[in-house]
């Protein structure tokens, strides 16, 4: 599509970006259902107030806050370093990319350099995170379709191998607390790199198997194709990012646009969707896993020697100059950003997480209106959220 497609919507009247109004067919009464907060498909505690006309969704209002702990307020009361382990708990499927986004924002605020080996290690753990996140996200999506357990366990087979790598490198499977301002906490040993190469060698086979099992499945195609369509203009206007945005056919990958870290050294493609539906979101995640494997192969081949922490880096007791910075990365869920204001003190004056999961849910109502209630579960699953990040 042309790039001017989502710039100016001058021919459209005001309010074009609001959810459509669906009229009930007039037969029978509307049924108001509160889906959640403990619905199995919500992966946590999330509620949707849904009004149904028969099977059709007439209104849908998400309700947040069940997991709210005011992460931002806590972070404003502790040192910069003190928030690093807390970022793991935002999106517990991708702790390492959360670490990375926060480290990047602080490095922007202080002008801290990062040694090359640390940048490569960040790319390696970041892409491994993406592979396991996408695999489990697809697994959960299939599970919501009614295929209880089996596909999810296939996804977890690959995920477990990757989590074992994380455990060996950082000491924890999910609460890694691995990155620091100016590098990484520990260096990877030659053994670890060798084992990682072996795991990465096996990954394409896993993706092939996963794809063969799922892609041609008639039920999956019938349930997902043409369901939950999100137009590209609306996706951009509503701030949707990550695989969801690319499934709507918009070529925007922050790894390419910003080229943060050392991403501009690697060759990889950005897969784009053509039909903007749930099936495309599922396929984009599969294709992105393949691209991540390509990046992993290149990074594991080229990783240079040297230190993993900048010699001048200060972790404790540093006071950034007054000012502010916004740093962002392409996390597996979308654009994860951190906005920091320093007043010259040891704690951030303002600490803000830009949560991709929350902002991607802005369009949930638009995608679900007029669809069947059973499809709402799939549409919701295709957004791929983690409630720890939505509610913070």
CB of 304 to other proteins, least distance (A): 26
Polymer length of the chain = 392
The stretch near other proteins (CB under 8 A) out of 142-150, 210-218, 305-313, 320-328 is 320-328
Told to check if 68 binds other proteins by CB under 8 A, we report yes
CA distance 228 to 222: 13
CB of 351 to other proteins, least distance (A): 10
The closest alpha carbon to 184, from 125, 130, 131, 132, belongs to 125
Among 109, 227, 289, 308, binds other proteins (CB under 8 A): 109
φ/ψ of residue 63, rounded to 5: -120, 125
The DSSP H or E segment spanning 33 is strand 31-35
The stretch near other proteins (CB under 8 A) out of 10-18, 156-164, 222-230, 285-293 is 10-18
3-state SS class at 48 = strand
CA dihedral 8, 11, 17, 18 (to 10 degrees): 160
Applying the rule CB under 8 A, the residues between 255 and 314 that interact with other proteins are 257
For other proteins, how many residues bind (rule: CB under 8 A)? 53
β-bridge mates for residue 335, sequence order: 330
**Residue 239 or 346: which CB sits closer to other proteins?**
239
CB of 70 to other proteins, least distance (A): 6
The stretch near other proteins (CB under 8 A) out of 39-47, 52-60, 61-69, 266-274 is 61-69
CB of 179 to other proteins, least distance (A): 18
Applying the rule CB under 8 A, the residues between 333 and 392 that interact with other proteins are 335, 337, 339, 341-342, 350, 352, 354, 358-359, 361-363, 391-392
Within 10 angstroms of residue 330's Cβ, the number of other Cβ atoms is 25
CB of 277 to other proteins, least distance (A): 20
Among 197, 198, 269, 321, binds other proteins (CB under 8 A): 321
Within 10 angstroms of residue 301's Cβ, the number of other Cβ atoms is 8
CA distance 50 to 60: 4
The DSSP H or E segment spanning 179 is strand 179-180
β-bridge mates for residue 328, sequence order: 337
Binding mask 14-43 for other proteins (x = CB under 8 A): xx-xx-------------------------
CA distance 54 to 250: 35
Q: Which two tokens stand for residue 357?
A: 């999961």
Among 250, 309, 367, 383, binds other proteins (CB under 8 A): 250
CA distance 303 to 113: 18
* 374 and 354 Cβ atoms separated by less than 8 Å: no
Q: Which two tokens stand for residue 226?
A: 């043409």
CB of 234 to other proteins, least distance (A): 7
Within 10 angstroms of residue 113's Cβ, the number of other Cβ atoms is 14
Helices (H) and strands (E) in the chain, counts: 15, 8
The stretch near other proteins (CB under 8 A) out of 82-90, 156-164, 220-228, 234-242 is 234-242
Among 20, 26, 28, 111, binds other proteins (CB under 8 A): 111
CB of 352 to other proteins, least distance (A): 4
CB of 62 to other proteins, least distance (A): 9
* 372 and 228 Cβ atoms separated by less than 8 Å: no
Told to check if 73 binds other proteins by CB under 8 A, we report yes
CB of 192 to other proteins, least distance (A): 33
Binding site residues, other proteins, CB under 8 A: 3-4, 6-8, 10, 14-15, 17-18, 64-65, 68, 70, 72-73, 108-111, 234, 236-241, 250, 252, 257, 320-326, 328, 335, 337, 339, 341-342, 350, 352, 354, 358-359, 361-363, 391-392
């Amino acid at each position: 599509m042309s790039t001017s497609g989502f710039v100016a919507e001058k021919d459209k009247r005001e309010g074009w970006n609001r959810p459509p109004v669906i009229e009930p067919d007039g037969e029978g009464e509307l049924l108001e259902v509160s889906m959640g907060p403990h619905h199995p498909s919500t992966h946590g505690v999330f509620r949707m107030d849904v009004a149904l006309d028969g099977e059709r969704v007439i209104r849908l209002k998400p309700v947040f806050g069940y997991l709210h702990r005011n992460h931002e307020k806590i972070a404003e009361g502790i040192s910069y370093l003190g928030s690093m382990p807390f970022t793991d708990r935002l999106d517990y499927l991708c702790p390492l990319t959360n670490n990375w986004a926060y480290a990047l924002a602080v490095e922007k605020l202080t002008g801290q350099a990062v040694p090359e080996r640390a940048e490569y290690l960040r790319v390696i753990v970041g892409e491994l995170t993406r592979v396991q996140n996408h695999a489990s996200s697809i697994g959960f999506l299939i599970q919501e379709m009614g295929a209880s357990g089996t596909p999810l366990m296939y996804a977890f087979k690959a995920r477990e191998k990757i989590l074992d790598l994380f455990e060996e490198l950082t000491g924890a499977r999910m609460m890694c607390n691995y990155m620091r301002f100016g590098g990484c906490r520990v260096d990877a040993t030659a053994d670890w790199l060798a084992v990682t190469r072996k795991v990465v060698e096996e990954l394409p086979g896993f993706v092939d198997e996963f794809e063969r099992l799922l892609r041609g499945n008639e039920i999956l195609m019938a349930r997902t194709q043409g369901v939950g369509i999100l137009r590209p203009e609306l996706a951009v206007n509503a701030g949707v990012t990550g695989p969801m945005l690319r499934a709507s056919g918009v070529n925007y990958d922050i790894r390419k646009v910003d080229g943060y870290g050392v991403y501009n050294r690697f060759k990889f493609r950005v897969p784009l969707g053509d039909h903007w539906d749930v099936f495309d979101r599922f396929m984009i995640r599969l294709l992105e896993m393949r691209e991540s494997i390509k990046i992993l192969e290149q990074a594991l081949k080229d990783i240079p020697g040297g230190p993993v922490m900048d010699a001048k880096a200060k972790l404790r007791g540093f006071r950034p100059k007054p000012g502010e910075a916004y740093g962002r990365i392409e996390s597996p869920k979308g654009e994860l950003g951190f906005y920091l204001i320093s007043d010259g003190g040891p704690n951030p004056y303002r600490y803000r997480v830009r949560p991709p999961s929350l902002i991607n849910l802005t369009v949930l109502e638009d995608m679900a209106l007029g669809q069947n209630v059973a499809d709402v579960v799939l549409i919701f699953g295709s957004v791929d959220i983690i409630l720890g990040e939505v509610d913070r």
